[in-house]
Amino acid sequence: MEVVALSTATWSLPPPPPPPQPLTSPSPPLSSLLFKSSPLKKQQPYLHISFKKERRYVLTPLRCSLGESPSTASSSSSSSSSASERWLLEPAGDGDSRHIGYRVPLPDAFEVASDTVTVGRLPENADVAIPVATVSRIHARLEKKKGNLFVTDLDSTNGTYIGYEKLKPGAATNVPPGSYITFGDIHLAMFRVSKIGVDAAAAEAGEVPAAVETLEQTS
């Protein structure tokens, strides 16, 4: 029997890698990087700014015709507004005059033609005369203001009434259209109040009596 001798081979591993070496140059400090990336700018001087209040003026336009001052235009507009609103007082009593002792006819209808009208018994003392003995010489005052009619009792003997309410002397009281005013005598001096609307063109042309006649015919 033949015996073969086996030779044992020697195996060697590769050498391990060398350990890591430290960096030769250290990293720059963080502060130097910041200053390099964002350099400081030169500081600008502060600007002083002052604010001043502005004055604003509001101009209100005034309408007036050529050659007419604003004051004249305002007065003419007020007069035209009063001319376009007229008040009529028509007799509404029953005409009974037995309490006087003799026959007395009913007074005529009258219009409040101006802004202020006085009512009384005698024409020399009042703008509108009501010839009835129970009416005082200066009985009451009628006034037109801003499209309304007011009546004031002037301390009359028999008083002034709106409907059945007696007015306090010296106090102006509003008189609504359709109401009744009594100047001291419910039979002979009671009047129904009516408001007449007249356009400006008719008022300037002097056609107001035509409007009054139309109202009298329809009443």
- Return d(Cα 98, Cα 54) in angstroms, integer: 79
CA nearest to 154, candidates 196, 184, 113, 192? 184
pLDDT over 60 at 139, yes or no: yes
* Choice among 26-30, 119-123, 169-173 with the minimum mean pLDDT: 26-30
**Confidence band, pLDDT 50/70/90 cuts, at residue 197:** confident
Give me 153's structure tokens: 């009792």
For range 95-103, the mean pLDDT: 95
Domain 84-218 is found in CATH 1.20.120.1200: no
- Locate the domains of the chain by residue range: 84-218
For a pLDDT cut of 90, what percent of the chain falls above it?
49
pLDDT over 70 at 156, yes or no: yes
H or E stretch covering 111: strand 110-112
The more confidently predicted of residues 3 and 98 is 98
Using an 8 Å Cβ cutoff, are 104 and 185 in contact?
A: no
Look up tokens 């009985």; give the residue. Answer: 139
pLDDT at 185: 97
pLDDT over 90 at 47, yes or no: no
pTM value? 0.56
